[in-house]
């Protein structure tokens, strides 16, 4: 219920077309439905055009298809994350307008392509960090950002990174995906005035403790402007990046 | 050295006003001074107006004063973090134009006050989270952001938070400081479309493990748009927030 | 030795058929065999009607069937937890009076259905938390409690939860199952005067450390009235809830 | 705003005594003020008589006195936790009607003494666990429960505990405070049909890791009916216990 | 051998009272026997009759057979630990004089059966702890100890344990295998004057962290006389127990 | 109730002075009062002559003196552990028959000196491990064992240890105190057929994590015959050692 | 570009053979290509002869073959680590000049065999540590070092190690691979004046926490001269060893 | 010495060609020198000229002076680590030939100054890492290495580091001291062909966990040639560096 329909309701009541009882009943539901949390809904509505997201891990193809059908029917963007090639192919067969990214393990339909604004730069330390990075990149792109990628420029060969310095300085926000010691986030942040969203990955073995070392390294970054998301949470990094860009393109 | 001065140098050399030796000497310095890392310097220069920061922990009053003198002499903003009341008072006596915030444990001089743009909202779960929050708030303010505060609205009384929903929805970026279980970041993020910089604090005891529980809670936030800085790192949260705003106010 | 055989012993002694020495010897053994821990046994007997529980993990179908036969033969309720669909189906075939819950991974026979009293509300943050929640719900129900469920109302959309506020306030005890940051327990506790049994789940990835983040978050809840059980321990949560209800329905 | 005043508002509007604009303004505030979150408030009001709690750690005497004055002025119960003997004595001097418990580090005023109902049994493993236990006991008592204590009956001498078996079986809820390995909670739960609130303490050294071993031990209790609060969180245990009793005495 | 006896030896040799052969023999033993390592060898020899142990995990059947052949050929006892039923059966087929214990995952040949002395009591909390316990029991038995078992007497039903109190008091050393909270070790130690070798098992889930909770619980035992071996290290517990018994039967 | 009063009860019953009902009631209480746990008590009595132990940490001088008086009055041995020089001196002044060990932080009175039997060897890796080692040594000595010490023979100079090989092979049980990597326990165990009680100490810094590295190292010892007590738990190591010796000297 | 070619460039410019534009273009590339990072490149070039390394884990045969072809075509050494027997065999079939080590899980082609200099000694505690050790040994060998191996000389039988003392003292650098408690590194370091590269392995179970106990033990080594690489990082240990030898053979 | 030469020795002795004294001398050296440990002694002797080290932490001035007197009397170098300014000044007063470094917390006497060979470069990320770095630098210098320092060149301003690239490439071994995320070690290693000894420091707060994040970061370095010592173990890093140099200057 929006303000217009509320005004109509009141007018009906004043005119006697609506009993006190009925009006009270309607108003009683307001706080959560309309006036109270309609704000939330309105806010949600403003976000429309953003894909609705299905976290695919642990869901069967049937479950995913059922939810996807509803979203697509409404004409919304669709984003299904963390799905293997089998489910991805099935989705691609069912929704030929969408695209399955095997590396990112994402299936996405951009229902209403729009101009990409805000520049998200996604950087990885190694090739093994690419899946998480792609999850971030595709998410940000689907949310309306222009995305560029610089992959495999870890600090073991810091000169490779420096060659991209101008690109780094143009970005509105940078996602840095790195496993092992996660040092790349600090180095990138030292070269940029954009906020750096550090995306630790579980790449590594032994004392990397499945991403813990990268996570701690990024949290302790000596370079200002770094904030961190969960290990392998490419989707989360893409969300944060697109929210920052949302600011940037106002 | 910019391109103009480089061209002039070459012209001088061609004309014979500059010896090969002198030119080589100048070029040898190029990579770091001008062409290579001058970008970095330029980038740094663009940041001027931002305070230079002294991390006060473990430094003596003499050390801090010595560094501060140099910064102030250059007419820069000054930010000294993590200092007790004794050092803070000494700084306030020496630099009457500055201000010491006892709660934030920060001394700041805003040398060239400028219009505040970009709206940073700083929220805390409890009163004990205020010092970290203030460190963030003062940092962001000194970096040029408009800052508002909502303190003591933790999820133990979630209605207190909801009363501020409109403010939450206006912010360009929100810093959420919380210790214990750190749940506030998730709840705020669910009410806002601004990026949320989660600032875990060491508030708590026992199984809070000095902020670890809040840190983990925030990293695992089920609400999109949350990224996290180190425990009690108010300065870092303020930096990230101001970088996001920097984008917003272009 | 039960009370009858004890009475017989004493009668024999009185009649002179049993010497003082023999009686003393028999009595000396009593404490553990009969009189002593019969108190415990009696206490156990008072619990009759409660299902006897088989922890299915790591047990073969044969082992489970063997134990189940004995329990059912005695006319008791039966609860088999943590079993897959294969064993569940086999049990359902063997004991058609029982029911296998695939989600909860529980097989249960309520031998002597009785009126459900005490109101246990089971809430989950997401759909992935439902298995643990169902384990709690079925356990509490089999132990004689009335159970209602509110699923998928995590703090990422806190308004969804608030719509159920009156139900939350009616409950005698609330089980809150949540993974990731586990924040839901705090928010629910802030809305209720019933004790909240927080049930952390292993839902999540990366820095959730298989439920550790939810566990720590719940232990550090800033809302009073929350206590916590082991990760994924739905059975334990159901036990605590039913014990609390047992008090409530006295 | 209650239903009556809402009806009056609507009548005024119908009669034309209230403009559409004014009515809309009033309704807009409803969700938080009256219909929506008044429930929360009402719920809070119902709790009146319960002490309002000041967490004393890190607060100055001045701060505590200021808050305490307000609470006492309203005629409410007062509970100040985690305060040393200096602050405790100052409070006792200022509020002679209250009592300072040095062991529990609690100052409490029971403004409106009422009949204690519901039976909370507080048990400790050793003498060093008594401070946490007393915090729980005094909290539960102030919240209206009858409290009894059995101290220093750890499993290193399990017979000491068994001597209290009948008391254990009478309790409505049992708080078990133990450090080191925390085994006592399991043993008590095996002897009782009341819910056991396990309160791990930081008593111990070395591999007790400041209460972690007791915490883990209690979370992994092999006895059903045990739930756990944070390390040394006597107040939390007392809250849970009194909520359970609140159910019991309905 | 000290210098004096060495001088005497040399004098005897010079005088011809000692043959070169005898002297060489004595000297050959010097480095290892007296001053250094021959004692170790002698000590090893004294141990003959003890099984030589093959840690089976990660070894192929071929590798195990190859090593086993050599040991058996020498007429020694054989102990192969941590092997599955396939390898166990193959060993049993090859060495019909041996026995494969499927639960303990051990294959053992007692080449020279001897009288069992020293009484090792092996106790488990639950049935899932039996594999580790059996590994300990079979090890201790093969090393020459009399072994008795009390299984499934965990503290969730402490009376079950107390029924065996006399047996507990007769043992020379007690191995207590328990997972989850590991409380049984403390309770047993409180009933016995024999040293208790606590054997934490990985039984449990969630916050048991694969045996960590049991391990910490046992290390923090409030009962004197408890020492601990690695998680699931039944072989180690059996070794310690038999060494203690070795002392006992001198 | 002792045996006499029980006999009287039975006689009364036989004579008809006591009804069956009354007798049953009385017998029902037996297990815990008399017949049941007198076994435990008897067992405790058998231990008489062993010192009663006061854990001094966190106790005031007054508290310690009060408990000590009672123990000494009964003519028992006295052992007060973990006390500083101030309390130690006060105890020495009050009980001149006792002795305060400043290194071990122990005050001990051996009320009834008896022949020391069973040979406990206490070895340390470094000089910083001596306090924990002395706690073990004095405990074992007071419990009736002959104790010898080899200090500062860590594996950084393994030849120093080997010089004591014969002593190592004579011991009935060996306590090895070591911090840092705790490797000494493995090396000693490889040289001895006595059980080794590994006593990790908190000696070290950084990644020693206050004894955790030594603890883990000892738990993972590749040498058979090693069991472990808590970090810095010299008293516990001394208890285990004396229990093993108790076996040895039977 | 070296100084000479730079001088020529400037001369050409002065003479007018080179336009300002061209010169500027060349200079602009300087920082990364020549003056700045050409050093890095030069440094890399000096390393030629060293194998280029493909980390095989998670790469498909196709990916590995593609990269390997390029490396081999250039005539470089090739090192593929962490590959199973299937990929190893395929590589051996494709490149018959190379060799697959099944234990080390490495495929290597030494394109230009050269004299091995510098003596790397690789020692293991047990047979299970051999895979990591072989990875180190083959790496060091391919990088040009003479490598010798001493396997299965753990501290559980320290005399086995001492028999190799002279070899230990001849080495230029020693790699010590050990799991479980990792004590071998300390003992070896106490016998040698060469730097010891400690290589913790994930060998062990329970409280070894997949190599953590060995890692911590080695980091806390009480013997000077020990540094540590990641768990199971044989390649890293081989690199460090060969760099040390590189120094040695200058 | 083999059996043949031993037989010859004995024959010589018998014939009188060898005195008892000579034979004893030869035999006395046997156990330690040839077969076992005299090599160790000889090896130790070769190290003479190296300072003997006193770990000062926890030692009183008296204890340190006593040990120092003995070392100095023998004309040896002296190194006392981890001492405050009070003890340092007292040592400087007693031994005016020595020097106390307040930052490094080291007192050192170089008894026999010798030419420094081998080039150790010590680099720190920040100024707070200098104490650990100085401990390493002074240690390496006293052990005979030429040491240069580059301090405060952390990755937050990576260009500062690159300015020193030629120095980095000249070093024989590089010690990199860094706290927080410890990324500097990786970056330095990517610029150098010398082995890098990574020295994690406890600099940082919150999720640095007292050096754990730097330690893990360094262990997981993606750059080859990095090995790691314990947190804040400057002495250990200096030892490793000097051992590497020892190789270099042969």
* Secondary structure of residue H109 in the 3-state scheme: strand
Which DSSP string do the residues of H167-201 spell out, in sequence order? HHHH-SEEEEEE-TT-THHHHHHTT-SS-EEEEE-
B100: enclosing H helix or E strand? strand B99-101
Chain A positions touching B230 (Cβ under 8 A) are 219-220
Q: Please tell me the predicted confidence (pLDDT) of residue B35.
A: 28
Residues D168 and D223 sit within 8 Å (Cβ to Cβ): no
Of A27, A32, A37, the CB nearest to D27: A27
Looking at the complex, report in whole angstroms how far the Cα of residue G154 sits from the nearest Cα belonging to chain F: 8
Does the pLDDT of residue D88 top 80, yes or no? yes
- Strand-pair category, F119-124 with F173-178: parallel
pTM of structure: 0.83
Token code pair at residue A47: 């976000």
Would you state the pLDDT for residue E85? 94
**Smallest CA–CA separation between G213 and chain E, in Å?**
12
What is the structure's pLDDT at H86? 95
Mutate which of B21, B29, B31 to test chain G, going by most G C-beta atoms within 10 A?
A: B31
The answer on pLDDT for A47 being more than 70 is: no
Residue pair B89/B100 in contact by the 8 Å Cβ criterion: yes
The tokens of B32 are what? 């770091």
Q: Pick from F43, F53, F169: which is nearest to E193 by CB?
A: F43
Q: What integer pLDDT is reported at residue C26 of this predicted model?
A: 60
Q: What is the pLDDT of residue B231?
A: 96
In this predicted structure, the answer to whether residue A28 has a pLDDT above a threshold of 90 is: no
pLDDT digits (tens, 9 = 90+) for C170-207: 999 999 999 998 999 999 998 888 999 999 999 999 99
pLDDT mean across residues, chain G: 82
Vertex A194: Cα angle to A190 and A197 (nearest 5): 85
List the chains bordering chain H where 3 or more Cβ pairs fall under 8 Å.
A, B, E, F, G
Q: Is the pLDDT of residue G212 over 60?
A: yes
Residue B28: how many CB atoms within 10 A of its CB? 14
- 3-class DSSP state of E39: helix
Sign of CA dihedral B149, B152, B155, B158: negative
Longest dimension (CA), chain G: 79
The whole-number pLDDT of residue F27 equals 59
In this complex, do H6 and E23 lie within 8 Å of one another by their Cβ atoms? no
Helices and strands, number each (H, E), in chain F: 11, 9
For residue D8, what are its two tokens?
A: 């009056």
pLDDT given for residue A240 in this prediction: 95
Which of D219, B170, A37, E102 shows the shortest CA–CA distance to C231?
D219
Answer whether D27 sits within 8 Å of A20, measured CB to CB.
no
pLDDT given at position A96: 95
How would DSSP label each residue in F33-87? HSHHHHHHHHHHHHTBTBPEEEE-TT--HHHHHHHHHHHHHTT--EEEES--HHH
Q: Which residue ranges in chain E fall short of pLDDT 50?
A: 1-2, 28-49, 248-250
Is E240 within 8 Å of F250 when comparing Cβ atoms?
Answer: no
Mean pLDDT of G161-171: 84
Runs of H (alpha helix) within C34-60: 35-46
Residue D174 phi, psi (nearest 5): -125, 130
For B64-73, B207-216, G236-245, which range has the lowest pLDDT when averaged over its residues? B64-73
Note the pLDDT of residue F3. Answer: 54
Q: Are F207 and H215 in contact (CB under 8 A)?
A: yes
Place of tokens 């402007």: A225
Distances (CA, A) of C48 to C44, C139, D177, E115: 7, 15, 29, 48
Residues of chain C with pLDDT under 70: 1-6, 24-52, 247-250
Closest CA to E234 of E87, E40, E94, E57: E57
Give the best residue of C230, C232, C235, C239 to mutate against chain E (max E CB count within 10 A). C230
pLDDT score at H3: 53
- List, edge to edge, every strand of the sheet that includes D52-55: D52-55, D78-81, D106-109, D99-101
Going by pLDDT thresholds of 50, 70 and 90, the confidence category of residue D1 is very low
Least confident of A164-168, B10-14, B47-51, D10-14: B47-51
Question: Which residues of chain C neighbour A58 with C-beta distances below 8 Å?
Answer: 128
Name every chain H residue with its beta carbon within 8 A of the beta carbon of F207: 211-212, 215, 230-231
**Predicted local confidence at residue D13, as pLDDT:** 80
Would you report the helix, strand and coil content of chain G in percent, each value rounded to 5?
50, 15, 35
**A244, B47, B80, C108 from B44: Cα distances, Å:** 22, 5, 19, 68
Q: What is the 3-state secondary structure (H, E, C) of B128-176?
A: HHHHHHHHHHHHHHHCCCEEEEECCCCHHHHHHHHCCHHHHHHCCEEEE
Residue G122 in 3-state DSSP?
strand
pLDDT computed for residue G11 by the predictor = 80
Flag whether pLDDT at F162 surpasses 80.
no
Q: With a cut of 60, say whether residue H229 has pLDDT above it.
A: yes
Structural tokens at position C31: 């404490």
From the list D71, D118, D119, the residue with the least C-alpha distance to D98 is: D71
pLDDT score of G33 more than 50: no
DSSP assignment, residue H84?
-
Task: Output C18 or G141, whichever has higher pLDDT.
Answer: G141
The model's pLDDT over A94-150, given as tens digits with 9 standing for 90+, comes to 999 999 999 999 999 988 777 888 999 999 998 889 999 999 999 999 988 999 999
Task: Using CA coordinates, name the residue in chain E closest to C59.
Answer: E128
Task: Pick from A130, A205, A213, A217 the residue to mutate for testing the G interface (most G CBs within 10 Å).
Answer: A205
pLDDT given at position A228: 97
Nearest residue on chain C to B225, alpha-carbon basis = C156
**Mutate which: E158, E214, E225, vs D, most D CBs within 10 A:** E158
Strands A119-124 vs A173-178: parallel, antiparallel or unpaired: parallel
Cα H81 from Cα H181, distance rounded (Å)? 26
Residue G20 binned pLDDT confidence (cut-offs 50, 70, 90):
confident
| Residues of H in Cβ contact (< 8 Å) with F128 | 58
Q: What interhelical angle do F85-94 and F61-73 show, nearest 10?
A: 40
F115, with CB counted inside 10 A (0-12, 13-18, 19+), is exposed
pLDDT digits (tens, 9 = 90+) for E9-21: 777 877 888 777 7
Q: d(Cα B19, Cα B1) in Å, to the nearest integer? A: 19
Nearest-neighbour CA in chain G from B13: distance (Å): 7
Beta bridge partners of E109: E78
Tokens (6 digits) for B186:
């998730």
Top-confidence residue, F23 or B47: F23
Lowest mean pLDDT among D124-133, F24-33, G104-113: F24-33
CB spacing of G231 vs A159 below 8 angstroms: no
* Nearest chain D residue (CA) to E218: D181
Which chains would you list as touching A if contact means 3+ CB atom pairs under 8 Å?
B, C, D, G, H
Q: How confident is the model at residue F112 (pLDDT cuts 50, 70, 90)?
A: confident
Burial class of residue B66, CB neighbours in 10 A (0-12, 13-18, 19+)? exposed
Share of chain B above pLDDT 70, in %: 84
- Alpha-carbon torsion (E24, E25, E31, E35), positive or negative: negative
Max CA separation in chain E (angstroms): 77
Question: What's the whole-number mean pLDDT along residues G43-58?
Answer: 58
Contact D81, D134 (CB under 8 A): no
What is the pLDDT at residue B5? 60
Residue C13: enclosing H or E segment and its boundaries? helix C3-15
What per-residue string of b and e applies to G4-19 under the rule 16 or more CB within 10 Å gives b?
A: eebeebbeebbeeebe
Chains D and C touch (3+ CB pairs under 8 A): yes
Model pLDDT, residue E226: 95
Please check the confidence at residue G79 and state whether its pLDDT lies above 60. yes
- Of the candidates F14, F31, F35, which has its C-beta nearest C14's C-beta? F14
The closest alpha carbon to H191, from G37, G228, G236, belongs to G37
CA dist A175 and A189 (Å) reads 10
Contacts 24+ apart (CB under 8 A), A129-132: A129/A177, A129/A178, A129/A179, A129/A201, A129/A203, A130/A103, A130/A177, A131/A103, A131/A104, A131/A105, A131/A234, A132/A177, A132/A199, A132/A201, A132/A232, A132/A233, A132/A234, A132/A237
């Amino acid at each position: 219920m929006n303000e217009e329909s509320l005004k109509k309701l009141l007018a009906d009541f004043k005119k006697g077309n609506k009993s006190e009882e009925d009006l009270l009943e309607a108003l009683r539901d307001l706080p959560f439905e309309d006036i109270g949390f309609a704000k939330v809904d309105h806010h949600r509505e403003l976000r429309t055009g953003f894909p609705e997201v299905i976290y695919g891990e642990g869901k069967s193809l049937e479950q995913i298809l059922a939810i996807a059908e509803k979203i697509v029917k409404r004409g919304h963007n669709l984003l299904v994350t963390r799905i293997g090639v089998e489910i991805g192919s099935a989705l691609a067969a069912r929704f030929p307008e969408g695209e399955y990214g095997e590396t990112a393990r994402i299936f996405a339909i951009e229902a209403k392509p729009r101009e990409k604004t805000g520049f998200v730069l996604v950087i990885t330390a190694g090739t093994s960090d690419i899946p998480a990075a792609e999850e971030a990149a595709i998410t940000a792109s689907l949310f309306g950002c222009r995305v560029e990628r610089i992959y495999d420029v870890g600090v073991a060969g810091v000169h490779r990174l420096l060659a991209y310095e101008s690109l780094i300085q143009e970005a509105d926000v940078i996602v840095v995906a790195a496993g092992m010691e996660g040092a790349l986030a600090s180095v990138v942040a030292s070269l940029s005035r954009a906020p750096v969203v550090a995306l630790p990955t579980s790449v590594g073995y032994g004392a990397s403790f499945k991403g813990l070392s990268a996570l701690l390294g990024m949290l302790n970054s000596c370079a200002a402007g770094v904030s961190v998301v969960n290990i392998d949470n490419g989707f989360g990094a893409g969300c944060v990046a697109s929210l920052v860009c949302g600011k940037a393109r106002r």
